[in-house]
Amino acid sequence: MTDNDILGLLLVYSYVMIVLFIGGKFQNPNFSRKFVHIMVGNIIFILPVFKTWWVMVFLAAAPFIPLTFLISPYSPLKLEHKVSSYGHGLGLVYYSISWTLLALLFFNHPWIIAIGIAAMSYGDGLASLIGENYGKRRYNILGDPKSVEGSLAMFITLLVTLPIIFIYYKQPINWLIIAAIAATATIIEGSTPKGLDNITACIGAVTIYLLGCAL
């Protein structure tokens, strides 16, 4: 473990605790959950600090799987936190699983990790927030109500945030691939029920990126 790894761990845990603290202050539990969901996505800008793969995977990402489960409605310890008491109770757990898998598979390509996280944090988070507050055109594919307004918000959000990620990681910007990622992640999010979009949208976004680069 290097000094950079220690710094990365301090930054990740400090940032998440601050976000949880702020999120817990909001009176609306749904807004609290979405605030945390979206803001935790900013860990993508901490990823380059890490120099050792197992530190990111097993010390930075994986511990959040049991930690988020313990504050979920399904926790045997009943440590339920406001940010997990509304909506899909295991959403943050799925979020943590996705980050762990991405870190394990793509540590040497952190921008790929960032693409997946962006889809489930910025994209999915804003889709739900906009959809629940402003969604009027509803649709239901597999048992989980969504809205056209929310899906459009996710698509536009990814069109804006993905170029920022590519610039931050000094990767070439291919607008066709970006549009394909945004569209695919949006379609998957709109058709995935029970909070599993924190896994499926993430996997879909990364898959399209890899396919686009292979062509």
Given the DSSP bridges, would you call strands 138-139 and 146-147 parallel, antiparallel or unpaired? antiparallel
Contact 29, 50 (CB under 8 A): no
Question: pLDDT tens digits, the chain, 215 residues: what are they?
Answer: 999 999 999 999 999 999 988 987 887 877 888 888 899 999 999 999 999 999 999 999 999 999 888 877 766 766 555 555 555 667 788 889 999 999 999 999 999 999 999 999 999 889 888 888 887 888 888 777 888 999 999 999 999 999 999 999 999 999 999 999 999 999 998 888 777 888 999 999 999 999 998 87
Two structure tokens written together for 151: 């899906």
8 Å CB contact between 72 and 84? yes
The model carries a pTM of: 0.91
User: What 3-state class would DSSP assign to 73?
Assistant: coil
